Structure 1
Amino acid sequence: MQERDVDIAIIGAGSAGLSAWHAARKHSDSVVLIEGGEYGTTCARVGCMPSKLLIAAAEAAHHARDTEGFGVRVRGEIEVDGGAVMARVKRERDGFVKRVFKSMQRIDEADRITGDARFADPHTLVVGDHTRLRARNIVIATGSRGTWPGFFEAAGDRLVVNDDVFEWDDLPESVAVFGPGVIGLELGQALHRLGVRLRIFGVGGALGPFRDDAVRELADDTFNEEFYVDPDARVESIERDGDQVVISFLERHSGKRLTERFDYLLAATGRRPNLDRLDLEKAGLAIDDKGVPHYNRFTMQCRNADDSPGHVFIAGDANQELPLLHEANTQGRIAGDNAGRYPELRAGLRNVPLAIVFTDPQMATVGASRGELEQRYGGCDCIATGEASFEDQGRAMVMRENRGMMRLYAEHGSGQFLGAELFGPRVEHMAHLLAWSLEQRLSVSRMLEMPYYHPVLEEGLRGALRNLNANLQLGPAITERCMECGPGD
């Protein structure tokens, strides 16, 4: 076994690991990157990019079928060539992966180690059966993988996760999706629009990222006009029969017991961090009940079992905080920088929460939810809400995409904008504007002073801001009252 000493070892060559490597290299030439699986980030290989390729194909099919309302008639039936759809998805996906791999090749081969890493002691990693690394500091960036309840195992090899979808050579006839979160809704709607028979089942009533009851209920009604989704389903049994999965459930609207057959059961029920094979008990870290090290979200530094700050850092999906690409990049950069300068540390800039779901209508959240804000302010009535509907919004009506609503939140007294939940056409762009406004701590009145072109969807955002501004109680007396139970209490 090869013995080697390095300054910094980074476990995982995904988005967080690559960001950590580049940041750490500014402090030392002795940095190694360890990867146990295939090179190429989750985003490029099985996440953001292939899913958007599938969604783009679905949108093309949907728009081709939906021209009648514009007075445009398409003669003949719209046909979806499932094989051609999946061939393009895989071809373009492979191109994105190659670009990532090409950028990785700039890293010296001697600094890239292939194999599964595990701790032998707090400063020593064993990689595969070939390398023993002694590292001054270590960054864990091992990512995550799909997880599902044990009773899904009854589906056998008909049980798939999103990773498997992008390896299909053709589209199946039917799929049962479990989990109406980001992955389940995006892939579910795309498959439906490409002609796949679909049902989506959930537990507990959650739908996408929404926490505001009004927005969630409207999204629920809107999606159910197009395809079946039950966020709080009563599934009685899952069985394998031949090459199909047989699912018995109580139909949401009628309450009748139905038994249906599907080609696949797609589990979109969450992801678990890839930490269970690292032998973390030998790393001397403090671990929570989910097996994740305790860490500081501003430095990404893990704490030792004796509660002292340590030389191990964690970034990206491995810490389960915010499994998003831009967050992985940010966390990786902070972790790598601090691993490089340790024992000196610097608090990294953490951006405001921003999440976007590429369904139609799109879903987005910015900042804190209404519930989180009420908890933050100790239940005090210090939060104002404003809303607007897309049903009568001019540009949305022109496009025949006038579905959805938005709810915005601000602080009484100061008038500072605090967060939003958006459901509507192309809200990815408005979500960015709101995230930038929140980063700059703008007040609602200042946001209303910005230019709004006509006719654009952002005029709907202005309407919500006007409603929010009208509901605000401003002035020092209100501010002082809210500060009594204000942020941080």
Structure 2
Amino acid sequence: MKSYDVAIIGSGPGGYVAAIRCAQLGMKTAIIEKYSTLGGTCLNVGCIPSKALLSSSHHYEEATKHFEEHGIEIPGDIKVNLEKMIGRKQAVVDQTTGGIDFLMKKNNIDVFEGLGSFKDATHITIEGKDAQEIEAKKIIIATGSKPSTLPFITLDKERVITSTEALKLKEIPKHLIIIGGGVIGLELGQVYRRLGAEVTVIEYMDRILPTMDAGLSKELNKVFKKAKCKMMLSHKVQSVERHGDEVIVKAENKKGEVVEFKGDYCLVSVGRKPYTAGLNLDAAGVAMNDRGQVEVNDHLQTSVDNIYAIGDVIKGAMLAHKAEEEGVFVAETLAGQKPHIDYNLIPGVVYTWPEVAAVGKTEEELKAANVEYKVGQFPFRALGRARASGDLDGFVKILADKTTDEVLGVHMIGARCADLIAEAVVAMEFRASAEDISRMSHAHPTFAEAVKEAALAATEDRALHV
């Protein structure tokens, strides 16, 4: 039987990063993955493939709608080759997961393919091509999550689908009905709307992106409506039925009326839930909470001293970069170091176009906590760089403490916000004031100038370009 200092179950962003950091710190490390490729949901059927399709569909939309205004004329009709687009997506995934294989070899990490389950607190059985058992002093659970559904919905994975199937459709839907106005539904909805599908988004809450700042939700809703997506807010889905190639969704609006929607595909994107099936946690004595999450303390340690858990399988936002931070945190904790994670400073991003990004507190949260704050906001359309590229939608909003001027939250929607949010994270990590940001030189012309201008607006209401 092989013995290790650390064994990690699950090879998503949390698991494989934890494995690399453990190996860097001198631990003999093993990683167990039940699928034939490493990388988990994020690399295989989540973050990476969805961004590949978002990029491809964005190119198509630019070519069909915006090239002409830039003086670019393409003779003949521009057509979508969906098979080739999906094939490129898969090539990106294969290259990325292959990169993880390389990193495992580079760091001398043993990879086991098969379903890992606890025999006891220090032994893991692996059911794969060959049944085997390994021993580890420390074990990290990093098994991630899988798509949630509603109890009355039958996912046939052909017409009533999850994000996994939506990433590999063989045809562009005529009418894609999306249940859930969160990140996944909006990103995939935008992909297929660009490619020509009619798109209807049905959301239970009164706004899309209900966990983000209300201003961002309102602005992105306008963008989707401008793209002729039907945004059915405050609608409670009652039933989803498939009849041949047709899917019928019935939902109740806030007036109590039942509304019927007919489409050829229905994407169920109502969130994700922790994935612990097959782990046999009882054998190790690992406790779970009533939400199906593995219980951990502030050190990400489970109810069993030598077993830790990270990522989607524990409490907190289900984000790849959150899992990565936790993977490093546990590895360094095991090495006797004193790492830290500030969960308030883990940004959230929606990769639609315009992109949406945020870090820190929302206005709603500050009001609920009775914190006095001031707001500085600056529109992208006032930027020379935005006008030059034609990306006019969106704004940057900075929330700062009314007394101390410390930045408490930054919320943005616009071009390249997924990258711009890092500036806000750095500023808040060092407890910058809005005035600190306003006094930093930002290159001109750039999208980042919107951050400086919003900081100026928050400091003394003296944005320069509005």
TM value normalised by structure 1: 0.84
Match of 1:415 in 2: 405
| Contact in 2 for aligned 1:204/1:232 (Cα 8 Å) | yes
Shift of 1:449: 0.9
Cα separation, 2, equivalents of 1:118 and 1:154 = 27
SS of the aligned residue for 1:122 comes to coil
Match of 1:315 in 2: 310
Moved more, 51-60 or 28-37: 28-37
1:433 aligns with 2:423: yes
| Contact in 2 for aligned 1:155/1:265 (Cα 8 Å) | no
1:98-152 C-alpha deviation (Å, 9 max, x unpaired): 222233344658x322221222333332322823334322111112111111222
Cα separation, 1, equivalents of 2:458 and 2:124 = 54
Cα separation, 2, equivalents of 1:400 and 1:347 = 43
Shift of 1:320: 4.4
Match of 1:128 in 2: 127
1:190 aligns with 2:181: no
SS of the aligned residue for 2:152 comes to helix
Shift of 1:28: 5.1
1:57-86 C-alpha deviation (Å, 9 max, x unpaired): 111111112235456665544322222222
Cα gap change, 1:318 to 1:237, in 2 (>3 Å): closer
Cα separation, 2, equivalents of 1:258 and 1:11 = 44
| Contact in 1 for aligned 2:399/2:407 (Cα 8 Å) | yes
| Contact in 2 for aligned 1:273/1:320 (Cα 8 Å) | no
Cα separation, 2, equivalents of 1:5 and 1:362 = 46
| Contact in 2 for aligned 1:11/1:34 (Cα 8 Å) | yes
Cα gap change, 1:5 to 1:402, in 2 (>3 Å): closer
Match of 2:90 in 1: 90
Cα gap change, 1:131 to 1:154, in 2 (>3 Å): closer
Cα separation, 2, equivalents of 1:209 and 1:192 = 22
| Contact in 2 for aligned 1:176/1:198 (Cα 8 Å) | yes
Shift of 1:26: 4.4
Cα separation, 1, equivalents of 2:300 and 2:95 = 32
Cα separation, 2, equivalents of 1:209 and 1:423 = 15
| Contact in 2 for aligned 1:90/1:166 (Cα 8 Å) | no
| Contact in 1 for aligned 2:216/2:356 (Cα 8 Å) | no
Q: What amino acid maps onto 1:435 in structure 2?
A: V
Cα gap change, 1:8 to 1:279, in 2 (>3 Å): same
1:388 aligns with 2:383: no
Cα separation, 2, equivalents of 1:91 and 1:276 = 29
Match of 2:319 in 1: 324
Match of 1:246 in 2: 248
Cα separation, 1, equivalents of 2:294 and 2:209 = 27
| Unmatched 5+ stretches in structure 1 | 305-309, 473-489
Cα separation, 1, equivalents of 2:258 and 2:309 = 48
1:17 aligns with 2:15: yes
Q: What amino acid maps onto 1:418 in structure 2?
A: L
| Contact in 1 for aligned 2:12/2:43 (Cα 8 Å) | no
Cα gap change, 1:411 to 1:76, in 2 (>3 Å): same
SS of the aligned residue for 2:356 comes to strand
Cα gap change, 1:287 to 1:155, in 2 (>3 Å): closer
Cα gap change, 1:22 to 1:91, in 2 (>3 Å): closer
Shift of 1:450: 0.8
Shift of 1:408: 1.2
Shift of 1:465: 1.3
SS of the aligned residue for 1:116 comes to strand
Q: Output aligned runs, 1:323-362, within 5 Å.
A: 323-339=318-334, 341=335, 344=336, 346-350=338-342, 352-362=345-355
Cα separation, 2, equivalents of 1:276 and 1:345 = 32
Q: What amino acid maps onto 2:358 in structure 1?
A: T
Shift of 1:206: 4.3
Cα gap change, 1:96 to 1:136, in 2 (>3 Å): closer
| Contact in 1 for aligned 2:177/2:200 (Cα 8 Å) | yes
Match of 2:50 in 1: 51
Aligned residues between the structures = 455
Shift of 1:249: 4.4
Q: What amino acid maps onto 2:362 in structure 1?
A: S
| Contact in 2 for aligned 1:276/1:291 (Cα 8 Å) | no
Shift of 1:25: 2.7
Identity %: 25
Match of 1:487 in 2: none
TM value normalised by structure 2: 0.88
Match of 1:403 in 2: 393
SS of the aligned residue for 1:152 comes to coil
Cα gap change, 1:415 to 1:154, in 2 (>3 Å): closer
Q: Output aligned runs, 1:72-87, within 5 Å.
A: 76-87=76-87
Q: Output aligned runs, 1:154-165, within 5 Å.
A: 157-165=158-166
| Contact in 1 for aligned 2:362/2:409 (Cα 8 Å) | yes
| Contact in 2 for aligned 1:406/1:420 (Cα 8 Å) | yes
| Contact in 2 for aligned 1:16/1:328 (Cα 8 Å) | yes
Match of 1:307 in 2: none
Cα separation, 2, equivalents of 1:104 and 1:289 = 35
